[in-house]
Structure formats: structure tokens, C-alpha cells
Amino acid sequence: KKKLKISGRELASVPAQVFGLDQLQVLEMSPERESCLRYRMELLPQEISRLRNLTCLYVDSNNLKKIPAEIGTLRHLERLTLSNNSLTSLPPEMGALQRLHSLHLANNSLTELPAPLCQLRSLTFLDVSDNKIGTIPSSIRHLDKLETLLLLFNSLESLPEDVCLLRNLHTLWLGNNHLRSLPASFGELVNLDWGYNYCSCNFEGNPLESPPPEVCSRGPEEIRHYFLSFHKA
């Protein structure tokens, strides 16, 4: 089999037989999104390293507390969903997943954006919403292929200028943080939808002073003009 879905309200571990399926490409151990269920699996076993051909691993909405270092051996992995778990950190070995282009980490207990993530040069989608992240490392500039960055409901007090170097960003959600200002070069994110599409760049729920609230209320296009004129000045 190339694809396997394991389901069950009481799912608490990976059946041992799974690790013998060395041709497996897609492994799903998440409840259906509309079901509102959570499974009970707390540990992704080290034997996951035997599934060297995995391209997609879905383990969101469990109770995972730790990801084993062996995740770094899954060099073909392109999509990894870890949202809605109990993760406080990620292993540095994740930096080896150089084919990974989509990573979902929403609704965990991360307090910082792990440094290994900034090594994932193929990443185009990153969702770290609803954690406790307080800072974004300047090394995020290395994610030069990133198109979608979701940072809602965190504890960000500032955004580094390096975020403005992510020129391929199409979607950036910053809502419900503690941001009082945005970087002076923010208007240079030329590929954001700077029209009135709030789905593309979201700032609501921040105590922004720069740009001032009256500018923010006029929409993303006005925010861009504000920063372009500010930057020229």
C-alpha cells in the first residue's frame, strides 16, 4: 500500500505492523476535521524512521508531547501536519527535511519559532498560529520560498525587518498578537495581496501605533502606502 489511514476514537499508538510497510508514502492518523475529535496518541515512535518513502504524514489533533529525532530521516517528506497537539519544542533534526514544503504547527505550546525550521529552504507554507511564540528569529529570511506564513494568536511584540525579505509571501496573518509597530520596510512585501483582501494580510487585534489605527482601518493598500512613504522619508 502507498497510502494508509488509521482511525479510531481511542487511537493511542501506532500499530507495529505499520512500520513494515516500507513503500508507504502517505500515513494519516488524524480524526476528520469536521468531527471535532482528538485522538490520544502522545508519542510518535522512533520506528517512524523505517518509513523512508513517506511524503505526507498527518498526525494533527492527537496529544503528541514530543517528536523523535528520527523524524529527520524522512528525507522524502513534503507535508507534515502537527497542529492541535501538546508540543513545546521540535527536534533540531527537523532541519534535515529539505523537501518539506508544508508544515502545520497551529495550536500547540511552542514559545519560539524553532531554529531548525529556518533551514527548510523548500518551505512554502508555515502555520504556527495559536501558540505562545514571542519572537521571530532573524534567520527566517532564509525561507526565501515561503508563500504563506500564519502567526495569529501568539505573543509577538515585534516583527524583525528580516520578515520583509520574504519577497515570495502572498499571505501573512499577524492578527491577535502584541504588535505596536511593523518594520519600516514592510511595504516592500510586493507579492502580498495589498488590495482590500483581509484574508491575505491580517493585522487585527494588535495595539498598533505605527501605522496608526486610522490607517489600519482603511485596509492593506493604505498600510502599504503608509510604509512606502515612510520608507522614502
Kindly give, in sequence order, each residue whose CB lies less than 8 Å from that of residue 13, ignoring residues fewer than 6 positions away.
Answer: 41, 43, 45
* pLDDT confidence of residue 202: 81
- Side chain identity at 48, as an amino acid letter? I
In this model, does residue 94 exceed pLDDT 70?
A: yes
CB atoms within 10 A of CB 214: 8
**Look-up: residue for cell 494533527?**
60
Give the Cα separation of 110 and 154 in Å (integer).
9
| CATH pick for 110-232 out of 2.60.120.200, 3.20.20.140, 3.80.10.10, 1.10.3720.10 | 3.80.10.10
193 within 8 A of 169, measured Cβ to Cβ: no
pLDDT of residue 143: 95
Section 152-177 average pLDDT: 93
Calculate the CA dihedral of residues 210, 107, 33, 21 and round it to 10 degrees. Answer: 130
What pLDDT does 230 receive?
63
> To the nearest whole number, what is the mean pLDDT of the chain?
89
Cα distances (angstroms) measured from residue 118 to each of 74, 140, 157, 218: 18, 5, 20, 33
Q: How does pLDDT run across 36-93, given as a tens digit for each residue?
A: 777 889 999 999 999 999 999 999 999 999 999 999 999 999 999 999 999 999 999 9
Question: What stretch(es) of the chain map to CATH 3.80.10.10?
Answer: 1-78, 110-232
Q: Which pLDDT score, from 0 to 100, does residue 40 have?
A: 85
The domain over range 1-78 is classified in CATH as 3.40.50.740: no
The answer to whether 174 and 206 have CB atoms below 8 angstroms apart is yes
Q: What are phi and psi of 41, to 5 degrees?
A: -70, 125
Residue 123 main-chain phi, psi, to 5 deg: -65, 125
Residues in the chain: 233
**Model confidence band, residue 35 (pLDDT cutoffs 50, 70, 90):** low
Is the pLDDT score of 232 beyond 60? no
- pLDDT > 60? residue 233: no
Kindly list the distances between the CA atom of residue 77 and the CA atoms of 26, 52, 159, 178, 213, in Å, as whole numbers in the listed order. Answer: 9, 9, 29, 34, 42
Query: pTM of the entire structure?
Result: 0.91
Residue 85 has a pLDDT of 95
Report the alpha-carbon distance of residue 52 to residue 182 in Å, rounded: 42
